[in-house]
Each structure stands twice: as C-alpha cells, then as structure tokens.
C-alpha cells in the first residue's frame, strides 16, 4: 500500500514532545490512509458508496481533560528533565506518561492547538487508542470538503534496539468496521516511517533506549550517556 498523505491541516514537521507527536501522526496517517485506499482500489461510483458509509457530515465531540497549572508545571518540568538527559546532561533517564498527561500536553501545547478538538488519546494495558474527528478536504475526484472522518484506532507502539514500530491492531470508523482487505493492508504498515523522515525526530529516536506501553502508561527510557574516553 502506498504511504497515506498527510491531511493539509497537520504540520509536516512534528515538534514539541516527540512522544505525543508520534502518536498524533500515527493516528492521523492511519485514518488518512483509508481515503487513499479507496481512491486506489475503487472506481469513483463504487468509492462514493464507501465515502457515504465511512465519513460523516458531522464531527463527533472530542473529550478534554482538566489539569491545574501546578500539575501542568510539574509535568513540563519532568519533560524538561528528560530532555536534559537526552542531551547528555544531568536529568531523569526515564519518562512515564499517562493518557491523561498526554492529552493535557496536546491541549496546552500551542503547536498542537489545531488538534486538541480533533484527537483524544486513551491507553488500555499495552495498547494505545486514538479517537479522531478530522475534517476532510477534496481528494482527487472525491468531494470530501464538509465531511468528517470519525474513528477510533488501536495501535501498538514500541522501540527496541533502535527500531521504532507503530502498528495497527484494529480500527473502527463511525459505527462501521473497515472492509477486511483494507484492514489487512493497514496492519502491514509501520506508521512511524513518515515520522522518522524528519531528521530532528530521527536524531531524538537514536538517543532512546526503549519505548514501552505497559499498564496504561507509556514508558520511555533514554540511553545511558557514553563516558568520555580517558586520555
């Protein structure tokens, strides 16, 4: 399957926090891939029926989380400490984030202002769920402006031995399950590949030892800084 295109409203370079940026991009690319698949596999008349079934003229409400200024400040200090460790300076080598904290960061980061009413992250056990309500633009012959792609995707995210892997486990769009051939194709994709094309993101990933999702939290560890050679 060809790589799904980025929707126009999503910034091409994800900055800010690497980790919620990665999750955001993975979910958006996943759901954008549905439109690409329809365009490639179906004639216009057939695809129009799928568009009516899998998109909506209404957005779905996206939840928000409440966080106090003191809690947000503490969270940002943890991120700063971890970033210090990534740069080889004294700081916390491990960062643990809950879904509540990730959503709070998305809601309060100016660079993600366009996404806070479109994306909500949930973490259950070792899986990440992304709930999305994304306004669409016309795609080639398909007139999608004014319609929304509303869905929930379940992702598996891991990083071991320098290999970042973001794979789809399941996805629902509106009240519908995806067609089996489409779901099978999407499950083959590693949705971190587009993210890793950003040199800045690639350099950050190279400084990480692992990313794991466990017990409803994301656990990120920085590599042990190399000791300088003795003269």
Report if residue 74 sits inside a domain. yes
pLDDT at 29: 57
Task: Quote the pLDDT of residue 71.
Answer: 95
With respect to residue 146, please indicate whether it lies within any of the assigned structural domains.
Answer: yes
Q: Domain of 27? A: 20-222
What are the backbone angles phi and psi of residue 215, rounded to the nearest 5°?
50, 40
Give 227's contacts (C-beta < 8 A, 6+ positions apart).
none
Regions of the chain short of the pLDDT cut 50: 1-16, 43
- Residue 13 falls inside a structural domain: no
CA distance 101 to 72: 8
- Flag whether 81 is in a domain: yes
What is the 8-class DSSP label of residue 12?
S
pTM score:
0.78
pLDDT for 9: 36
Q: What is the DSSP string of 79-101?
A: HHHHHHHHTTSSS-SEEEEEHHH
- Cα angle, residue 129 at apex, residues 71 and 38 outer, rounded to 5°: 140
61 within a domain of the structure (yes/no): yes
Q: CA torsion sign, 200 to 6 to 23 to 68?
A: positive
Between the CA atoms of 81, 86, 90 and 94, what dihedral angle is there, to the nearest 10 degrees? 60
User: What pLDDT is stored for residue 216 in this prediction?
Assistant: 93
Is residue 184 in some structural domain?
yes
Is residue 231 in a domain?
no
Residue at 86 is within a domain: yes
Q: What is the pLDDT of residue 74?
A: 95
Q: Name the domain count of the chain.
A: 1
């Amino acid at each position: 399957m060809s790589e799904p295109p980025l929707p126009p409203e999503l910034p091409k370079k994800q900055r800010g926090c690497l980790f919620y940026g990665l999750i955001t991009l993975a979910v958006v690319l996943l759901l954008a891939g549905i439109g690409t698949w329809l365009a490639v596999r179906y004639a216009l008349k057939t695809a129009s029926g799928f568009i009516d079934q899998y998109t909506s003229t209404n957005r779905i409400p996206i939840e928000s989380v409440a966080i106090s200024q003191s809690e947000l400040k503490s969270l940002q200090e943890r991120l700063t400490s971890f970033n210090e460790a990534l740069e080889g300076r004294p700081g916390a080598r491990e960062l643990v984030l809950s879904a509540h904290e990730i959503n709070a960061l998305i809601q309060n980061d100016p660079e993600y202002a366009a996404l806070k009413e479109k994306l909500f992250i949930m973490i259950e056990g070792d899986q990440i769920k992304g709930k999305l309500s994304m306004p669409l633009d016309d795609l080639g012959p398909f007139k999608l402006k004014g319609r929304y792609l509303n869905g929930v995707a379940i992702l598996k995210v891991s990083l071991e031995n320098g290999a970042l892997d973001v794979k789809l486990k399941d996805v629902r769009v509106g009240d519908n399950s995806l067609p089996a051939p489409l779901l099978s194709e999407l499950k083959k994709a590693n949705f971190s590949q587009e993210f890793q094309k950003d040199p800045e993101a690639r350099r950050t990933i190279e400084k990480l030892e692992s990313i794991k999702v466990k017990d409803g939290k994301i656990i990120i560890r920085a590599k042990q800084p190399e000791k300088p050679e003795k003269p």
